[in-house]
Structure 1
């Protein structure tokens, strides 16, 4: 198991079972704080990529993650079976997903389902919403 995977697995109990305040406190105490934890998630994202399902697809998912420190921006680009992640805002992503950091972390572990997050207003989607749905096919939970 990679160091990044081990660190994420140590966070999982708080992500899956802690309150929002407990989670924010816990991730604030991690190396690099919120930025370190988000960096860890996006570092692990290519491991959850199902290349065989995305061989004919392409596009970029832009994330705007709301944190107590202000918004954090990351993106995941898929291009015919390849996946790359990065930090920052893109000019024209295919879809933009806005979500609070605690809900984002629960989404990554499967504790919060994407459709549920969207329907309850915990996740905002702009751009090509049909493309956003592909995430479920192209990526597994961490």
Structure 2
């Protein structure tokens, strides 16, 4: 994986060290990474691939989630789909399944959320996260993952 200015080689950074980077990174670093199409894709792909590793799920958890990471360079958003099936989490970019919930937020807020540096309820109440679909299920998502803490 390529080096990302301000973050280094993400594949060599532990989840807790990544959480610390997100917590301490200046806004300019987020802007630089998220406005560069290649760097943005590298960072988002790495974060979503780690979701599979930190998923703790449950036998009865079956859901498809769509994540819309807004403010894509050139317009639009990046779409990631997580499929939770019992104790397994898979991630893809095609978004073909019918989502139980769609979560929309900008890249900076997503990185804060995924690294444990933001409170999902606060993000929702302040309009930084938009949820379409099963709001109750989406509210409990954090309990399904071992989210690193900084």
Cα RMSD after superposing both structures: 2.4
**Unmatched runs of 5 consecutive residues or more in structure 1:** none
- CA 5–46 in structure 1, closer or farther in 2 if over 3 Å, else same: farther
The equivalent residue for 1:73 is 79
Report deviation, 1:13. 4.3
* Counterpart Cα distance in 2 of 1:121 and 1:105: 16
State how 1:1-142 maps to structure 2 within 5 Å: 4-6=11-13, 12-26=19-33, 32-51=38-57, 54-69=58-73, 70-142=76-148
Report deviation, 1:21. 3.0
TM-score (norm 1): 0.83
Residue-by-residue CA offset, 1:33-65 (whole Å, 9 max, x unaligned): 1011000001111111014xx211100111000
* Counterpart Cα distance in 2 of 1:113 and 1:46: 21
TM-score (norm 2): 0.79
**Off by >6 Å, runs of 4+ in structure 1:** 7-10
* Counterpart Cα distance in 2 of 1:116 and 1:5: 31
Instruction: Look up the SS of the partner of 1:15 in the other structure.
Output: helix
Larger CA deviation: 14-23 vs 106-115:
14-23
Larger CA deviation: 131-140 vs 70-79:
131-140
Residue-by-residue CA offset, 1:84-127 (whole Å, 9 max, x unaligned): 11113335200000000000000011111111110110000000
